[in-house]
Amino acid sequence: MKKMIGAAVCALMMLAAGGSAMAQDGDEDDYTFTLYNNSSSTILTFKLVSQYDDDWSEDLIPTQVIAPGDEIYMTFNPNEDECEYPTAVTLSDGSEFADVLNYCGIDGVAVDDDGIRAY
């Protein structure tokens, strides 16, 4: 069953605020990873929430969508000493998935028909 963002957004923000995060090695490193669309729908938006902010970020893929089976290279500049970010995606079929992902040392983020995960 698909997880819907709805009321879960507040819980995700509280998890991120209460969770411990590892410091990054050096301040010059952005988080870089590949976003894979393993779902049957197009990814329309990809957003984050920092533990230092209560609002979702702007869409990190504002000028494009990611078709099923496609992937894109992503990069963002993290807040200092922060690894865990509530992350949300919106799909063209109306599905919205959200989960707290740890971006320290990951290779990719995968979206499928059941949710979103880092690996």
Each residue's pLDDT tens digit, 19-51: 333 334 444 578 899 999 999 999 999 999 877
User: Six-digit token pair at 60?
Assistant: 């990190």
Q: In CATH, what class is 8-19+31-118?
A: mainly beta
CA distances from 36 to 7, 10, 66 (A): 26, 26, 8
**For 74-83, how does the pLDDT look when each residue is reduced to its tens digit (9 = 90+)?**
988 887 778 9
- What's the pTM value of the predicted model, to 2 decimals? 0.73
How high is the pLDDT of residue 88?
95
How high is the pLDDT of residue 50?
78
Specify the higher pLDDT residue, 110 or 7. Answer: 110
- Check pLDDT > 60 for residue 95: yes
- Check pLDDT > 90 for residue 109: yes
How high is the pLDDT of residue 40?
98
**Alpha carbon of residue 58 to chain centroid:** 12
Specify the higher pLDDT residue, 101 or 5. Answer: 101
